[in-house]
Amino acid sequence: GTGQRWESLRKSKKYQSLVRWFNSILDEYSELLNKVLSTYVKKGSGKPVAPPKSKDNQQATKADAQDKGKSEVDLPEAEIGKVRLRFAPEPSGYLHIGHAKAALLNKYFAERYQGEVIVRFDDTNPAKESNEFVDNLVKDIGTLGIKYEKVTYTSDYFPELMQMAEKLMREGKAYVDDTPREQMQKERMDGIDSKCRNHGVDENLKLWQEMIAGSERGLQCCVRGKFNMQDPNKAMRDPVYYRCNPMSHHRIGDKYKIYPTYDTACPFVDSLEGITHALRSSEYHDRNAQYFKVLEDMGMRQVQLYEFSRLNLVFTLLSKRKLLWFVQTGLVDGWDDPRFPTVQGIVRRGLKIEALIQFILEQGASKNLNLMEWDKLWSINKRIIDPVCPRHTAVIAERRVLFTLTDGPDEPFVRLIPKHKKFEGAGEKATTFTKSIWIEEADASAISVDEEVTLMDWGNAIVKQITKDEEGRVTALSGVLNLQGSVKTTKLKLTWLPDTNELVNLTLTEFDYLITKKKLEDDDEVADFVNTNTKKETLALGDSNMRNLKCGDVIQLERKGYFRCDVPFVKSSKSIVLFSIPDGRALK
């Protein structure tokens, strides 16, 4: 009931029974239906259906009119014009589809509440971060169409964070701990207080200075919040606030030897920057209490947390550490490899950003954890590209068969035909008609003598002779045109190419999943589940119009599927590289 097409069908007489049934349900459940529509129908996706004008629901309509203009309460305590959100990626990799969900939900809520989004780089771990990642994250955020007020860095607030750490130590709310890491982890699991927990302020500040200097003694220490080591929630057992790290920072060089942890810096900077609502995936649920406690101990304004489920897809890695392993081992070509779930990777594979946005917003801010298939995303993509992408022709080069039409044109001639029969905007292509044409071996093998076939965009032909080699493979065909024949009577509709020297060389590339297990567990070794056959290249010939393709153009090869041009035409000896785009059926 939300689509313009249905609205027009309701007014026609084509589906009278369906309209009667629809109206019957609408009359009985109008209040519920309108509630569902107003809650879940996204802006621009259609209009909620007006219920029939009975006396009962005329009153409901008045009530709805009074409520019109009130915001849907998706964020707790949100006020129109006063919502401030942040998207805070760590610059330790490229933006992937999981990050995209967080980014687009921030964008969605900012637009709904007429608020704003800040992009903040959580650059607190110099061992993993680089300017390359920062630059590409900014690029990918732009690709997603996210408008942000400004870009900030957690490192902008390092002086204030250090002052806060010292303040907490002076107030007895934090302490310096030199317990070895493995022992510290065991004590946390067992709920045992650290031997350093009751150090005095002077001792803590002395060791804190050693940490700031990055001395040998300081490198043995960390700063921990003093919470409750017996709390059933292990995230509340004296979390680490600061660690020593002598590595150079990609942005501020060697200025600091100590860095705050995410659990310390995130709530501090959220509060300081005036963030009203922090969106976090539900995997952080057990650390929500810690987030609030940190702000409470710091004496800072609380921030509303809003959870959503992490996006998990079958046979897909979203761990940046594991993705980095694929890059470093050379199993992929880089972070923009079309087999990668990065924004750059899936766009290079042929996904339209509109499809990604639609897919993610359809999931909404659900907190349900589930493992999703890729087919839905690619199906949405197909619905976007199919109505507009130009059609071209390709023939697999290996064992292609020459089909000679004895009554074909003695001199080649060219005819302009639409690139897309239902979309004028795709333009026209020049098709050459010749006496001899190329068809694929698979098609040739399926033809019988005297069989009538349809040559697409030309007409019918009758095969009179089939030549085979010693192994029984078809090597040549001959026949005659029958352009008056009906395409409805033929079983085979063949794609073909003219026998000319203007054809272009193509490399058709198909991809498979990088791993062989639907979902890797945390303790699974990636190397044990690597798919060793993830890329298949097939050489083909293409029509001469493909010389004009640009990098990024999406086309359909007749009877082969959708492809994105990755390497355009340069010269005749070089192949145009086309990447196969899944259509939702291949589940890849």
pLDDT at residue number 523:
85
* DSSP β-ladder status, 84-87 and 116-121: parallel
Question: Among 329, 328, 385, which residue's Cα sits nearest to residue 356?
Answer: 385
Question: Dihedrals φ, ψ of 546, to 5°?
Answer: -70, -5
Non-local CB neighbours of 210 within 8 Å, separated by 6+ positions: 217, 218, 221
* DSSP β-ladder status, 474-482 and 401-405: parallel
Question: Among 501, 528, 525, 531, which residue's Cα sits nearest to residue 513?
Answer: 531
Tokens read off for 449? 């003598």
pLDDT at residue number 58:
43
- Domain spans in the chain, listed from the N-terminal domain onward: 77-176+241-308, 397-498, 504-581
DSSP, res 27: H
| Angle of CA points 314, 319, 321, to nearest 5° | 140
Question: Dihedrals φ, ψ of 99, to 5°?
Answer: -65, -35
pLDDT at residue number 150:
96
Q: What's the CA gap between 279 and 291, in Å, rounded?
A: 13
pLDDT at residue number 271:
98
pLDDT at residue number 45:
39
SS3 letters across 281-304? EHHHHHHHHHHHHHHHHHCCCCCE
* Dihedral sign computed on CA atoms, order 256, 261, 164, 269: positive
- Asked if 85 and 147 count as a contact pair (C-beta separation under 8 A), the reply is no
Q: What's the CA gap between 193 and 190, in Å, rounded?
A: 9
Which fold would CATH assign to domain 397-498? Ribosomal Protein L25; Chain P (2.40.240)
- Residues forming a β-bridge with 394: 542
Q: Which residue ranges of the chain lie beneath pLDDT 70?
A: 1-13, 27, 34-35, 37-74, 364-367, 586-588
Q: What's the CA gap between 434 and 147, in Å, rounded?
A: 53
- Asked if 137 and 102 count as a contact pair (C-beta separation under 8 A), the reply is no
Same fold, 397-498 and 504-581: yes
Q: Give residue for tokens 């810096």.
A: 265
- Asked if 454 and 479 count as a contact pair (C-beta separation under 8 A), the reply is no
Amino acid 73 reads V
pLDDT at residue number 88:
96
pLDDT at residue number 354:
94
Question: Among 551, 568, 547, which residue's Cα sits nearest to residue 500?
Answer: 547
pLDDT at residue number 7:
65
Amino acid 141 reads I
For 509: left if phi > 0, alpha if psi spans -120 to 50, otherwise beta; the answer is: beta
Non-local CB neighbours of 299 within 8 Å, separated by 6+ positions: none
| Angle of CA points 419, 420, 421, to nearest 5° | 120
Q: What architecture is the 77-176+241-308 domain classified under in CATH?
A: 3-Layer(aba) Sandwich (3.40)
Which fold would CATH assign to domain 504-581? Ribosomal Protein L25; Chain P (2.40.240)
SS3 call for 379: helix
